[in-house]
Structures are given as C-alpha cells and as structure tokens.
Chains A and B, each alone.
Chain A
Amino acid sequence: MGLFDILSALGGGFASAITPAHLAWALAGVTLGTAVGVLPGIGPALTIAVLLPVTFSLDPLSAFIAFGGIYYGAMYGGSTTSILLNTPGETGSIATAIDGYMMARQGRGAAALTTAAVGSFVAGTLATTALAFFAPMLASVALRFGSAEYFALTIVAFTTVSALLGDSLARGLFSLFLGLALGLIGIDPLTGVARFSFGIPQLLDGIDVVILVIGLFAVGETIYQAWRYGREPLEAIMLHDFTGMSREEWRRSWKPWLRGTAIGFPLGVLPCGGTVIPTFLSYLTEKRLSDTPERFGRGAIEGVAGPEAANNAAAAGVLVPLLTLGLPSSATAAIMLAAFQQYGLQPGPLLFTSQPDLVWTLIASLFIGNVMLLVLNLPLAGVWARVMLVPRPLLFGGVLVLASLGAYTLNRSLLDLGLLYGVGAIGCLMRVHDFPLVPAVLGLILGPLSEQHFRRAMAISEGDVSIFVTRPLTASLLLAAAAVLVLPSLWKRKG
C-alpha cells in the first residue's frame, strides 16, 4: 500500500468514525475504560468479556469502537491510582508509581497526572500513526524474535534493577531474589510439573503479580504510615497548584515522552513483549540520561513522563500483531480476537484486505478516543489531586478496601486475600529497614519469563548454548545489557 492509499483509507475511516453514534460509543468506551483501569485487578480484558454478550446486537463497527476506547481508557486510568495512592491499577503502571507517588506526597499530584495524561496522548497518537503506516512491515520483523531473543530481552530488562537498587547493593539484590524466589512457585509451564506449591491448589498458578504489587505498595504503605503516625507529627500536604505543570516541568517532560514512545511501541509489537519491560526500560533510560539522577525515586517528573508514554505506546503496539497477523499477544487482544469471531469476521492476516472499512474506522476512532481521553483527563488532574487532602484515616481506609476488592476479584480466592495482607506486612518491614520494593516486583515478573525462554531456546537448539551468540539479534541484545551495566562506571572513572 502506498502512502496515498493509506491516507485515503484513513480519511475514509475518519469519515465513518465521526458520526454521532460512533462518537458516542467511543466516549462510552473511554469513560468505562478509565473507570476499570483505576481498580487493581480489573482490566480491559475482563470488561470486554463481560460486555461481549451485550454487544452482540450492535453492529461490529460500534462494538469495536467501544472496545478500542475501553482499551486505551484503561491505560490512562491505570496511572491515576498509581500516582495518588501508590496502588498501580495494572502492571504497566508500576514504574509510574515510583516517582509519581512521591510527587503526589509533595503536593505535586496535579503535575504528575498532567504529565501522565499528556504523555499518554502524545505516545498514543504517535504509536497509532505508526500502527496505521507501518503495521505490516513491523509485524514481519517482530516474528523474527524467538525464545533466544526473548531471553536476551529479559536480561536487558534485568539491568533496570541497577537503577532501582537504593543505597545498598546487598539490600537491593535481596529484594530482587525475594521476587525471583516467589516466581518459582507454581506449575513449570514447560513440563507441567508443580514446584513449591506445597500441595495447595491455589498456588499451582503461582503468586499473581497484582497481589505482590498492591500488597507491597498499597498495604505496606498503609501499615508503615500507621506505624509511624504514633512517632512523628504528620507533615501536612500542601498542594502546589491545581493548574498542572509549570514551564520547567513541561521542559523536563517532552523528551521523556518521545523517548518513552520510541521504547514502548517496538517492544509492544513483539508478540511476547508486554508493557512491563518497556516502562522500566524507559525509567532506566531517563535516570541514566539525567544530569541529576539522585532526584529519581524522590519525585522526578521524568520518571513519570517516560514510563507513562512507554506504557501507552506499547499498548498501541499490541494492536499491530493483532490486526496484521491475527496474533493475540495480550489478554485484551485475545478477547478482541474472540469478538471478531463472534461477528463471523476472520481475524488474521487477511483482515486488512477483507475488512478494510472496519480496520480503518477502528484506527481512526483510536485517534479520536485519544483526544477524548486527553480532554477528559486534563481537567480531572486537578480534581483528582485533591484526593491527597482527604483525612488520612479515611484515605487509607478506602485504599485498603479497594486493595482487598482487587485482590479478591482476581481469582475469587480467600488465599489471595490472606497473601495480600502477608505481603503487606513484609512490605512494611522492608520499608522500615530501607529495602527497595520494586526489584522484588521485577524479580517476580521477569524471573519466570527469563527461565522459560532460556529453557525453550535450549530445547529448540537441543542443548547447544551457542544459540545465544550465533543469532545476531540475541548477541546484540546481550551486548547491550552488558554495556548498560559496565559503561556508566567506566564513564565515572574517566570523568
């Protein structure tokens, strides 16, 4: 397809998307998506699944416009609770919580929410443009990623721990290994054999990342604050302003938005990419490039702007393999695929040619949904930021109710609820003794991925380790990981 063909197809898409009915469905979708993105444990996948039987009577176009809105909306909503309550709504916004919550504590919640919203808009728009123009080409490159490459990618991701260690190497690594050890629990997907599940059926699937994240962050923070309350007078939170970002903060934000997009989109296109790795890589990049890396972890706006942009760009990237190859690479994409089938549409490599109207209207409505989300979220940033003014007893009471709701609905399991409070106690202890929390979360997410891809690559190569150096992509990724670890210290020695 030439450039002109794409532009005219996209124009047709816009013409069909800007009808009152379709605009209304887009608005309904983004609003609902924002609402469910806020709550931990409930994401766009479950929401679309619940709505599927209802939308059966709609025409497919309206349904997919609403689904697209829910998907993009959830990405925006996830950052709100991350920043204000230290409770990431989904795994893609864990990195946002690190500096976002510190900003909120300092009364700069509105600025954090604004940079998240504008960054999401910039990333969403750029990534959707890339989706419209380069989707088929990108998809074929993504297929060259095999298990060896994915293993190398997880190693690159592990280097981000170096930016999150805190003051002590030993304490940071202990936190990482705690996460890795928790990741051992459950069925080994390669052999189907259960490990460390102690005969408890609920542990067969391992410990859910959501439980660990909201346990360590939200519950741990609540216990810690309550414990400290008796010792020190509360520092009153003064809100800086309700207008959003200062000129200085705009200047600090725009480059991280663009870099976050550049990191997020290609990694989102990879069939096993996900949103966690790009957000943390963006965080690492911003910290490494910063002149004042010591501000990171203490409320640096770049640490919010970059990961949020990366998160949204990756979410748009997921649509590339879905629309061009019929490959679902996330839970939400799998539901969308099922929805295509429900309408008797053939999801797969021929979708672009067999259903051009549908695909181009969907893409056009993603652009429109992005604008709607920006318009919805910018004025809300000031309103949401006032959450920090709620009296602490009520604020933290509400946080724990939301955390328990999210943990329980995940698998409808009381064991998860118990685990949540257990993890919360550990999180509080770690905070008291100055252990960083994020490496544990990264360990739980990356450990199992890394192990699986390593063993899969070894099985495919019949146990030949040279597979990790003979494949050019793998070798260059591993070199990049080594460079990230070694170069900064060489740099310092020189300077």
Chain B
Amino acid sequence: MGIRLRSCGLAATLAVLTAASPAAAQNPPEHLRLVAPAAPGGGWDQTARVMQHALQQAGIARTVSVENIPGAAGLIGLARFVGSEQGSGDTLMVSGLIMLGAIVTQRSPITLREVTSIARLTGEYEVLAVPAASPIRSLDDLIRAFTQRPEAISWGGGSAGGSDQILAGLIADAVGVAPRRVNYIAFSGGGESLSAILGGQVSVGINGLAEFAPQIDAGTIRPLAISSAERLPGLDVPTLREQGIDLEFENWRSVVAPPGIDAAERRYLEGVVEAMVRSEAWRDALTRYRWLDRYLAGAEFERFADTEHARVQRILQQLGTTAKESSAAPGLYPLFVLGGLVLLGLAAVVPAIRRRPVIPSQTAVRGWRSVGLIAAGGFLDVLFAERLGFIIASAVLFWLVARAFDERRPVRDALFAVAVSVAAYLLFGRVLDLPLPAGVLAF
C-alpha cells in the first residue's frame, strides 16, 4: 500500500503564514485520513471538513487529510472504502441515512454491515415549506388537497431515495395515502430544489432545516411543519406531531471505519471520535451549521443502524422508486437514442470505413507502430498508476509517447519524462494536496 504520511502541502504552509498554528498538544498521534463520499460542498463534505478542523484544533491528531470520492449518493465511496482500505487503522469515512437509502434503491451488494461502525454524530431536522405566495396556508390545507387527489400535489426535494423522499413517503403513509402515489420530483443538489420551491414550480418542498433557515428568516417561504419531536427554540414552526401526523424524522450522519481492523485500532478510532465530539471547535460547528448533537457509539449505534436500515427498506419499497411514470416513460428516450445511433451508424460509419484512405504500405507501418507505442503507454499507465505510483506511471507514459513521435533521442526523452512527472507530482500532489498515489517511491 501507499504511504500514510502525507503532508498537507499548501494547507500547512498557509496555516503557518497566517499564524493559525493549532493549539499545542502533547504528542498527538500522527496522521488521520477522512473520506467524504461526496463532492465538495454537500453535507458529508462539510461534516468531514468540520471534523478535520476540530481534530487539528484540539490536537487530537497532528495532520488530517480529507479525500472526496463522489458519486451515487456515497455508494462509490463506500465500495472503494471496503475494497481498498481493508484493515487501515487510521481512516474514517462519513456516512449516514442517505447512504442507506442509496444502498436500498441500488440493491447494493455492499452495505453498512460490511464496515466497522464507529459512531453516529449529527442529526438534521427536515422542514416542509411552500413559497410565500402559495394558496396552501397550512399543513392542514396541504394534507386536505393531498388526500383528495394525491398526484396533484408535487413534492420537490433532493435526490431519489434520499432523506427528503423518505420523509414524503412516511407522511403519505401516516395520512393513509399509498406512498406510491406521491408525485415526488427529485432535484440534484440543494440549489436546484430550492430554486424550484422559491419559484413556485412545485406545490411543496422538503429540505433540511439549515438550507431553509435563511429563507424562513427572510420570509420568502412559508414553513408548514418541522420533523422534530418538539418545537425548536427561536423558530416559530409547528411540528408534524402537534398537527396530527405522528411522525418524527432526522437526517443523521455518522462515521465508519474500514472492515478488518483489529480491536485495538477500533478502540483507538472510537477514542479519537469521542474526544472530537467533546472539543470546543466541534461544539461551535454544531451551532453554526444548526446540527443536532446525536453522538451515539458502540453497540447501541449498531442496533440503531440496523433498525434504520429496516425502516428505510420498508418505506422505499412502498414508495416503489421505479413506479412513478408519467406519459413520458423512461424507456422511450433510451430507445430513441439507441435506435438513432444504430441507424446513423449504418448511414455514416459503413461508408466512412469503406472509403478508407489509401496509405503507402511502408509509412502505414510506421504510423501503426506509433499508435502501438501510445497504446502500450496508456495500458501501462492504468496498470502502474496505483501499484507503482504516479511518478513511475507518468514517466513511462511520457517516454513511450515521446518515442512514438521520434525515436532518435531516447536519453533526452527519458530525462524529460522523469523531470515532468516529478514536477507534476510535487506541484499537484504536494502543493495543491491532490490525492495522487505515491506508490513505491514513498517520500
């Protein structure tokens, strides 16, 4: 495996420049890696970066790096985490309810049972809201219209199978409408769904409290209900429960460790997380982001995760995430595209290949030799990139490509290959702190 000790490059340099040296701590353990299975900017990424800050500030770990592995509501990160971090005792990944939803919807072979549970960290309440100008004045109005003709109410929220859709399904279930009939409109990303709600494109919107709060304060949307058990101080929004819907709901986030770590490593990581949630930087972040402290560790957390898995599975099955098909069936468009591709292929590709340009045989051989060299370079790059590291893979690639153009100066090309690869690694891997595999040349 690659090296574990990665400097924080630019980050560290700037920290020194701006005199942001973390609170001095006695012999903090070396390095910790955090995986955020999402792109920068979302809830999981924020959680990971707040953890990074808190861990360094409190001196619990000397350096902490965050790696983003985005995709498929966390499933790509999860698959990678289980596959390549097996037994890494210094790595944590952020996960949560939305990942459970994705596991169920995608029937993922890898679930949260495959990883080592560490702790639940935070929870976030969800809010139902309508645009300020909406004719719907209250939750009663909404439910009345919804029970009369469910499909007429469009519910806007985040990705399909995520926390927002789960809550819509739970509400439908609670008021006696088949969850299958919820006309849920999935948007990708908080910005997209928020603009649809603000613009009145959907009847009602569901979103996390933190994302809605500024709009509630500004009066641009009217909150109908919050999914907490009791009213929150300083926020004049009635709960679902006090309005007759017996439901409580939170979008929780947690951290997990890779599979195959031993008991001592597990205890160490649990200790790190416990110390972090007690730190001042973490408590500050909770208020700033309006996160609830939902720290729960050990066997209790495992039991909680199992119960949640069952609940999510039940509601998503009832929702039938594949069921909502309007007149434009999802199958029609792929058929059009693939049909068009085949027809145009017959019309364009066949004649193009027939009138193959005539090439003198001697030069053609040289041309194909060049292509062969580049193909070898690409193949070896894929083969070596993670096994031997970025520098070696890139140097080999550079050298082969250069020789594809001109084979008279192998030594000059080799020198440039090494120089360019090392420079690229230092600039992007160290200074910009991008995750480039160091491989066997660990330094």
Contacts and interface: CB of A to CB of B under 8 A. Distances in A.
Contacts of A201: 72, 75-76, 79, 108
B341 A174 contact: yes
Nearest to A192: B160
A193 B322 contact: yes
Interface stretch (A73-81, A101-109, A239-247, A319-327): A319-327
Contact of B435 (A184, A334, A338, A412): A412
Interface stretch (A82-90, A116-124, A391-399): A391-399
Interface string A387-419: 000011110111011101100110111100110
Interface stretch (A5-13, A54-62, A371-379, A474-482): A54-62
A394 B368 contact: no
B4 interface: no
A222 to B, nearest CB: 7
A454 B377 CA distance: 43
Given A194-B106, A424-B378, A435 B195 contact: no
Contact of B347 (A47, A170, A405): A170
B337 A177 contact: yes
Interface string B225-252: 0000000000000000000000000000
Interface string A254-274: 000000000000000001100
A189 interface: yes
Interface string A191-215: 1111110000110110000000000
A335 B40 contact: yes
B436 A335 contact: no
B324 to A, nearest CB: 7
Q: Contact size class for B?
A: 35 or more
B87 interface: no
A47 B432 contact: yes
Contacts, number: 355
Interface stretch (B12-20, B113-121, B168-176, B305-313): B12-20
A462 B405 contact: no
B386 interface: yes
B49 A53 contact: yes
Interface stretch (B134-142, B196-204, B264-272, B293-301): B196-204
B53 interface: yes
Contact of B202 (A327, A392, A404, A460): A460
B263 interface: no
Q: Which of A191, A417, A447 has the most CB of B within 10 A?
A: A191
B338 A181 contact: yes
B322 A230 contact: no
A459 B334 CA distance: 18
Contacts of A425: 375
Contacts of B409: 393
B1 interface: no
Interface residues of A, number: 119
Contact of A204 (B76, B187, B333, B378): B76
Interface of A: 36, 39, 42, 45-58, 142-147, 168, 170-171, 173-174, 177-178, 180-181, 184, 187-196, 201-202, 204-205, 219, 222-223, 225-231, 271-272, 321, 325-329, 331, 333-335, 337-338, 341-342, 344, 346-350, 391-394, 396-398, 400-402, 404-405, 408-409, 411-414, 417-418, 420-421, 424-425, 428, 432-435, 447, 451, 454-456, 458-460, 462-463, 465
- Those 4 A-B pairs whose CB atoms lie nearest each other, nearest first: A348-B214, A230-B366, A192-B160, A334-B41
25 contacts: A42-B434, A49-B49, A53-B53, A190-B186, A192-B159, A204-B72, A204-B76, A205-B70, A226-B371, A230-B369, A335-B40, A342-B288, A349-B214, A391-B406, A397-B420, A401-B398, A401-B424, A402-B424, A405-B394, A405-B428, A412-B80, A421-B379, A459-B154, A460-B185, A462-B152
